[in-house]
Amino acid sequence: MRAIAEAISDNLAALGLFVDSRPYGRSFFEIKASTSPKLITTPDGTKASGIALLLAGAYEPPSLVFEQINSLRRGLGRAMVEAVLAGAKARPDAFRRLRVNDLSPRLPDGRRWWEHVAAAHPEFDWFITHEEPFGHGSVFVPPMQAPDPAPTVRVDIADSPEFLKKRQTLETLARAFGYDATKVTLSPQSKTFDYLGQSFTSEGQSFPDGRIEIYYDPDMSDARLGCCLAHELQHVRYFAVRDAYRAEPPDGSLHQRFAKYAPERLAAQRGVSNYSNEHWDAWKGDAPPKLFAQELETGESEPINETIAEVAKALYNWGPDVRINPLWKELHDAINEEYAALQE
């Protein structure tokens, strides 16, 4: 972290900025740079331009967090960000995850400033939220500069005993599921999303590459944490089998095995929980959803994927004797068998 902090500081100083870089606890480095020797970095400031960021080595995965940015001179905001990214590359892969909380207005093309920055740097893994500021700060650049804000992160959470204990529990659960614990992370940030006209707080998210992120909730019991992980792990299995299914020819073995799960047959069963039924209610496709199709693109919902994940959650929560729709249980088991075969 020190080598990267020095590289970033040198790059920012080369822009003519005053720079302050210092350790923040045992696992963080905080860097501030400004056109003012007072190191003014407030997002809505009118006296000076500046940037504040955090090298968070304790995060899972380690992350570079853009906390605040403000530019009163066109082009300086982008120059500051490019200076930071160039410094981060001084030690490749040390901080692949970049966090930004984007609260800026949209540009004429409908995209926010940080979206353009992320598109220009696909070599990093971007985690962009759009949440109201809390805790450590957020970033907003005036419309004349047009950049977007940086992540709002409570850095104290990730170092708290409660968070570290919950993270250890999550790792233990992942291993108990037979899954690579390094692919499962506990995030100190919260994530909200709009669905069916309401705002919800997400408990977790899975990605097609096998990564799983669970969002920290101090009130989440270990049992609920296990249910959440079971749900997200099932998504990972579904993604893997779906990719294999879509990659093989129409007469492939997966097509033959899953041919009997016709769209009309699955639609007639609906879901196995309130949450999965909400996805069936929200389906907007012209025809019933098709197994292993891109549900979200076709019907703006994922009734099949979510229903299978809810089966996994029920099995974890209540055990193998839980009373659940036999067709969905059969499909769940078939997907897991094929996933295991793919892993071998």
* Residue 67: CA count within 13 A, CB half-sphere: 22
Per DSSP, the three-state class of 54 is strand
Domain boundaries, the chain: 2-153, 161-343
Structure tokens at 25: 């606890």
pLDDT for the residue 198:
55
Spatial contact of 32 and 11, defined as CB atoms under 8 Å apart: no
Nearest CA to 329 among 342, 320, 341, 338? Answer: 320
pLDDT value at residue 47: 86
| 17/70 Cα distance (integer angstroms) | 13
Q: Three-state SS for 122?
A: coil
Distance CA 90, CA 192 (A): 34
The pTM assigned to this predicted structure is 0.56
* pLDDT, tens digit only, all 344 positions of the chain: 889 999 999 999 999 999 999 887 667 889 999 999 988 887 767 889 999 999 988 787 889 999 889 898 888 999 999 999 999 998 888 898 999 888 777 777 778 888 889 989 999 999 887 764 433 333 333 333 333 333 334 445 666 788 889 999 999 999 999 999 999 999 887 766 555 555 566 789 888 788 999 998 888 889 999 999 999 999 999 999 999 999 999 999 999 999 999 999 999 999 999 889 989 999 999 999 999 999 988 998 999 999 999 999 999 999 888 999 999 999 999 999 999 999 98
